Amino acid sequence: MKTPKIFSIANQKGGVGKTTTAINLGAALAVRGAKVLIIDLDPQGNASTGLGISRETRTQTVYDLLLGQASAEELAKPTDVENLWIIPATMDLSSADAELMSTSRRVVHLRNALRHRDAHYDYILIDCPPSLNLLTVNAFVASDSVIVPLQAEFFALEGLSQLLLTVREVRETANADLRIEGIVLTMFDRRNNLCLQVEEDARANLGDLVFETVIPRNVRLSEAPSYAMPVLNYDPTSRGAIAYKALASEVFARNATSQVVENV
């Protein structure tokens, strides 16, 4: 039986394109025929909103999944993108950190909830909150690998070291198979010398960990969430849509050969 590949999409810094990547990479994988589940693990619930799941319909959420009160199959909601589902989040999730902390197996709740790895899906993408809190650690413990959106800015690489350290700690204590799938440069502007310098430094220091695809600054990417759709639906010819389709192709290629980069 096939089992889905589980990716955490994580960066403890906010505003780096994490949710944008979860939504649009998920949509791009789905457009290629893969069955994809997005798990919205951010209390802000932006991935849920960006895929058209109204707050009024979020009667059961990922909070119920973490506490073992409902299964992923029961919670997954279809989106307007064929082959793409999402388990939504609400602000109730912000209290889950404290509730999980009081349990003896606090870092394995999500892994336990996904332990059967529903064969209905090819990929599960977990949109992590912008912090390295217990929710993010749960995501890492449940995942095969981590995709890191990295904004092309001055302090980008500095902040990356703490995330890589957390991945290493999770690997040593709770999930020995966890790997970095790749780092994707976001909000990229080739007219900006700083962006070019960040790319050069990232590729020099991290090598094949950095995806070839870079995600450009693109007004269509910014506009699409306000219409509750991925950019691939909103404007499939835009530079943002083309970039995420290219990123999906890289993810497909890396996993088709089972060659996930391991040099964390």
Give domain limits for the chain.
5-256
Predicted local confidence at residue 72, as pLDDT: 92
pLDDT at position 261 over 70: no
Supply the pLDDT for residue 118.
62
3-state helix, strand, coil in the chain (%, to 5): 45, 15, 40
Residue 116 neighbours by CB distance under 10 Å? 11
8-state DSSP, 155:
T
Local confidence band at 106 (pLDDT 50, 70, 90 cut-offs) = confident
pTM above 0.75, yes or no: yes
Look at residue 150 and give its three-state secondary structure: strand
Q: What is the tens place of the pLDDT at every residue in 109-135?
A: 999 999 876 668 999 999 999 999 999
Q: Tokens 């893969």 appear where?
A: 34
The torsion angle over the Cα atoms of residues 201, 198, 15 and 189, rounded to 10 degrees, is: -150
Contact at 8 Å (CB) between 122 and 36? yes
Whole-angstrom distance, CA of residue 196 vs CA of residue 73? 43
Identify whether the C-beta of residue 38 lies closer than 8 Å to the C-beta of residue 84.
yes
Percentage of residues of the chain with pLDDT beyond 90: 76
Domain topology for 5-256: Rossmann fold (3.40.50)
- Weakest-pLDDT range from 187-196, 224-233, 235-244: 187-196
Largest interatomic CA distance in the chain: 51
